[in-house]
Amino acid sequence: MIRLAKKRMSTWAVFGAVLFMVIQVVSNLYLPNLTSDIVNDGIAKGDINYIWQAGFKMLGFSLISILAAVCNVYLAARTSQGLGQKLRSDIYRKIINFSHDEMDQVGTSSLITRTTNDVVQIQNVAMMFLRMMIMAPIMLVGASFLAYQKDAQLTAIFLIVLPIMAIFIGGVMYFAVPLFKAMQKKTDRINLVFREGLTGVRVIRAFRRDKFEQERFDDANLDYTQNAKKVYSIMSVMFPAMTLIMSGTNIAITWMGGHLIANQAMQVGNLLAFMTYAMQILMSFMMLSMVFVFIPRAQASAVRINEVLDLNTPIKAPANPTKFGNQPASLAFNQVNFRYQNAEHLALKNIDFQMTAGQTVAIIGGTGSGKTTLVNLIPRFYDVETGEVSVKGVNVKDVTLHDIHQQVSFVPQKANLFTGTIRENMQYGNAKATDDEIWHALEIAQSKDFVSELEGGLDSHVEQGGGNFSGGQRQRLAIARALVKKAAVYVFDDSFSALDFKTDALLRKALTEDAEIQKSVVVIVGQRVSTVADADTILVLDEGQLVGKGSHAELKANNTTYQEIINSQIREGDED
């Protein structure tokens, strides 16, 4: 945690916060001292002037205390939230530049939590630290010192009270913390069962298992309730017991202090002040013990954030990058082997093919056969182990990432749209695209109809992730977006899966007939035979190996894997 805070929190601000806190605490602590003066020198001696004097002094110190407090809160608020801002920024920049490897390693949802919740945790703890956590020790030390000054002998009481308190707090935590943790799990369980009841409502009703669901929920509910009763019962000891310990301390001070006063070893006013200090000591001790509850939680967040900041992408730009020239589009895989980080087996073995402008290559194979992996090598989302991927005759490793991404237009499996208008989404890869160009792309992507039916046309709003469009529409918009960007290679990674047969077919027809796209290489990854059948070359992948390469007719005649795929989709006798 310290590592995270370093450099991201100004030393001066932290120092200032501590300083103001010291001022706040000290002037607060001085108040009981003045009270005792009022009693000792004012009341006991009947000096009313002195009482007024001491009283105004008290007001003065209160004022100093509040001013210091406000300054402390101000600095604490600015630095802690500033820490959050800087952390978010650093993590965000880091993650945006991650390659696929790092994204897979941590996982998108985990990265999101780390950037959001974990940072909020850290900044909250920083805020608490600059307020509560430094207040507790200062108050503890200050009050102890002053109490000792008032009367050294009475301080012995703390030698008994503090350990009792420590043992008690420790004991309660020992029993309560595991139960609190269990409670979190049991809450999750209730939520899970309830959510499953929502998502599965049709299945549950169709199978007439309402009663079973009810019982399943009741089990979770009962389990939680029993645990909660246990936890809160333990906690209900806490408050009265703490009050009792404090009151007991007060009584002991009165009793022992009385004897000291009788022996003329102490003044009455000091007794009153001592009591106040005693309370402050016990309160700060309790506050301090709370710190031990918060620190581990924040520490866990800090570890998760550091993990992200420590990850470095292995994909580096070359020292002297080459530039793409005006050569015609082409795509080549030359004896490519690829392995995922730390993987035992190669994910792609000996992939070799060449494509020139105007050609379409399709890739087919089962799940896990390496189709997506293969196309991910084209825009250099991963680096090959051996061999070479080249676009327009240039090795993708020899140019900057920016340049290769300029040449390759990529449609990933998941159609991610972004908040904004349709036009903004369409201009994603080509900020200068005109409305005509956009409509043309939308037409090829079979989206012209539904976009023009929208009230706002190109200015229609796109919600987060494209939530206001159906899966098929999102996919078509993502395709259009890729087409607006002029590129040498277009990659469609299983981008037609949410489309029905008819739309799929129309789209591919429009794609291959477009004059502009005919100057490029088109790569299509597909699941359905009908999607890939029209391609110039079909690559058949099985467990990372290229087991077939050729046209539909060739492969259908003599490739067993391809035949198997055909058979799984169309039974014999269905063929025309």
Partner 1 sequence: MAEKTTNQSQGSHGPGRGMGGVVEKPKNFWGTTKRLLTYMSSRLIGLVIVLALAIISVIFQIRTPKVLGKATTEIFKGVMKGNAMQKAGIPMDNLPIDFDKIQQIIITVILMYLASAIFSFLQQFIMTRISQQTVYELRKELKDKMQRVPINYYDTHSNGDIMSRAINDMDNIASTLQQSLTQMVTSAVTFIGVMWMMLSISWQLTLIALVTIPLSLVVVGIVAPKSQKFFAAQQKSLGLLNNQIEENFSGQVVLKAFNREQVTIDTFEEQNALLYKAAWKAQFISGVIMPLMTFVNNIGYVFVAIIGGIRVSHGQVTLGDMQAFMQYTQQFSQPITQLANLANTIQSTIASAERVFAVLDEDDMSDEPSGIPAVVDDQNQLELEHVEFGYQGKDTLMKDYNLKVKPGEMIAIVGPTGAGKTTIINLLERFYDVSGGSIKLQGVDTRDMTREQLRSHFAMVLQDTWLFTGTIWDNLKYGNEEASDDVILQAAKAAHVDSFVRQLPDGYDTVLNEEASNISQGQRQLLTIARAFVADPDILILDEATSSVDTRTEIHIQHAMERLLQNRTSFVVAHRLSTIRDADNIIVMNHGSIIETGTHDSLMAQNGFYADLYNSQFSGNVEI
User: In angstroms, rounded to a whole number, what is the distance separating the alpha carbons of residues 108 and 373?
Assistant: 18
Near partner 1 in 240-279, by CB under 8 A: 240-241, 243-244, 247-248, 250-251, 254-255, 257-259, 261-264, 268, 271-272
Is 414 a binding residue for partner 1 by CB under 8 A? The answer is yes
Residue span binding partner 1 (CB under 8 A) among the ranges 9-17, 58-66, 155-163, 433-441: 58-66
Pick from 1, 25, 76, 138 the residue near partner 1 by CB under 8 A.
76
Find tokens 């059948």 and name the residue.
533
Is 506 a binding residue for partner 1 by CB under 8 A? The answer is yes
User: In angstroms, rounded to a whole number, what is the distance separating the alpha carbons of residues 381 and 405?
Assistant: 10
Pick from 16, 370, 472, 548 the residue near partner 1 by CB under 8 A.
472
Is 184 a binding residue for partner 1 by CB under 8 A? The answer is no
- Shortest approach of partner 1 to residue 343 CB, angstroms? 18
Q: Which amino acid is at 181?
A: K
Q: Closest by alpha carbon to 379, among 355, 410, 340?
A: 410
Distances (CA, A) of 81 to 31, 118, 185, 257: 33, 13, 30, 47
Q: CB-based burial of residue 143 (10 Å sphere; 0-12 exposed, 13-18 middle, 19+ buried)?
A: buried
Q: Which is nearer to partner 1, 80 or 155 (CB)?
A: 80
Pick from 26, 105, 291, 405 the residue near partner 1 by CB under 8 A.
405
- Shortest approach of partner 1 to residue 395 CB, angstroms? 19
Distances (CA, A) of 385 to 214, 397, 471, 527, 544: 54, 12, 35, 27, 14
* Helix, strand, coil tally for the chain in percent (to 5): 65, 10, 25
Is 70 a binding residue for partner 1 by CB under 8 A? The answer is yes
3-state secondary structure 200-260: CHHHHHHCCCHHHHHHHHHHHHHHHHHHHHHHHHHHHHHHHHHHHHHHHHHHHHHHHHHHH
Is 540 a binding residue for partner 1 by CB under 8 A? The answer is no
Pick from 410, 439, 469, 490 the residue near partner 1 by CB under 8 A.
410
Near partner 1 in 332-371, by CB under 8 A: 365-369
- Shortest approach of partner 1 to residue 216 CB, angstroms? 8
Near partner 1 in 90-149, by CB under 8 A: 92-93, 95-98, 100, 103, 108, 111-112, 115-117, 120-121, 123-124, 127-128, 131-132
Q: CB-based burial of residue 421 (10 Å sphere; 0-12 exposed, 13-18 middle, 19+ buried)?
A: middle
Residues in the chain: 576
Residue span binding partner 1 (CB under 8 A) among the ranges 164-172, 229-237, 344-352, 391-399: 229-237
Is 164 a binding residue for partner 1 by CB under 8 A? The answer is no
- Shortest approach of partner 1 to residue 355 CB, angstroms? 19
Near partner 1 in 197-216, by CB under 8 A: 197-203, 205-210, 212-214, 216
Is 153 a binding residue for partner 1 by CB under 8 A? The answer is no
Q: Which is nearer to partner 1, 155 or 270 (CB)?
A: 270
Sign of CA dihedral 476, 479, 485, 486: negative
Q: Which is nearer to partner 1, 203 or 303 (CB)?
A: 203
Sequence-ordered list of residues with C-beta below 8 angstroms from that of 267, at least 6 positions apart, any chain: 36, 39, 40, 44, 261
